[in-house]
Amino acid sequence: MVDAVTPPDQRLSVLYREHRSWLENWLRHRVGNSWDAADLSQDTFLRVLSSAQKLEELREPRAYLLTVGKRLLSNFYSRRSLEAAYLEALAQLPEECVPSPEQRWLLLETLQALDELLDGLPRLVRRAFLWSQLHGLGYREIAERLDVSERTVKRYMAQAYEHCLLVQL
């Protein structure tokens, strides 16, 4: 008897058929609408497809899909919250400083990429790093603002740089 080997694309389509509506449902309860849920579930399967994980070795396909899906969902929330903060900040700019629509979207994309890059850093580390990078504040001033020592600020900066460099590797 020949042990039939299922080609990978077929395995994915089986995975897709059996779990897509379940995953979409799970996502819909969290994002509150079907469109975003459908997008996110699509993205999840795309990630699974492009991952190194061997589908035939998946013992708990739903647990695996959830792990991937949760990460995407978290990114989704972050993007949405970033966008809201960005639009709010834009709305407060004087009219002559408001960038053109194209610039606005480019800027938002850059901000989203950097937001993802900084994701996972403790709040104060993130803030110290942003003050230094965006406003060019010196360590002494950052230390005063955060009410910590300059040595701590230096440690924060090293931590932030290390984090960003590792994510980018």
Partner 1 sequence: MRTAPTSEMQEVARAAARWLALLESGTATEADHIRLQHWRNSSANHEHIWQKAQQLRQRFEALPPALAMASLDRPDLARRAAIKRALGIAAVLPTTWLIARQVPVQVWLADVHTAIGEQKTLQLADGSLLQLNTDSAVNVDLSKRELTLVRGEMALRVNDSAGLTIHLPYGRVVVGRSDVCVRLNDRDCQIKVASGAAQLHPLQGPALFLREGEEVRLRPGGAGEVGRFDASLPGWREGVLIAQNQPLGDFLRELRRFRPGLLRWAPELENLRVIGSFRLDDTDRVLSLLAASLPLEVQSRTRYWVTLMPLNAHA
Nearer Cβ to partner 1, position 10 or 51? 51
Nearer Cβ to partner 1, position 59 or 135? 135
* Closest distance to partner 1 from the beta carbon of 4 (Å): 28
Nearer Cβ to partner 1, position 5 or 92? 92
Q: Which sign, positive or negative, has the C-alpha torsion 23, 24, 25, 31?
A: positive
Q: Binding to partner 1 (CB under 8 A): which residues in 25-84?
A: 28-29, 31-34, 47, 50-53, 70-71, 73-74, 77-78, 81-82, 84
**Residue 83 to residue 109: CA distance in whole angstroms:** 10
**Residue 31 to residue 12: CA distance in whole angstroms:** 25
* Closest distance to partner 1 from the beta carbon of 93 (Å): 7
CA atoms within 13 A on the CB side of 120: 13
Q: Which is nearest to 139 in space by CA: 158, 122, 113?
A: 158
Q: Considering only residues 12, 58, 146, 164, which one is a binding residue for partner 1 as defined by CB under 8 A? A: 164
**Residue 121 to residue 111: CA distance in whole angstroms:** 16
**Residue 30 to residue 33: CA distance in whole angstroms:** 8
Q: Per-residue x/- marks for partner 1, 81-100, CB under 8 A?
A: xx-xxx-xxxx-x-----x-
Our measurement of the distance from residue 158's CA atom to the centroid of its chain's CA atoms, rounded to an integer in Å, reads: 22
Residues that bind partner 1 (CB under 8 A): 28-29, 31-34, 47, 50-53, 70-71, 73-74, 77-78, 81-82, 84-86, 88-91, 93, 99, 107, 110-111, 114-115, 118, 120, 123, 126-127, 130-135, 138-139, 150, 153-155, 157-162, 164-166, 168-169
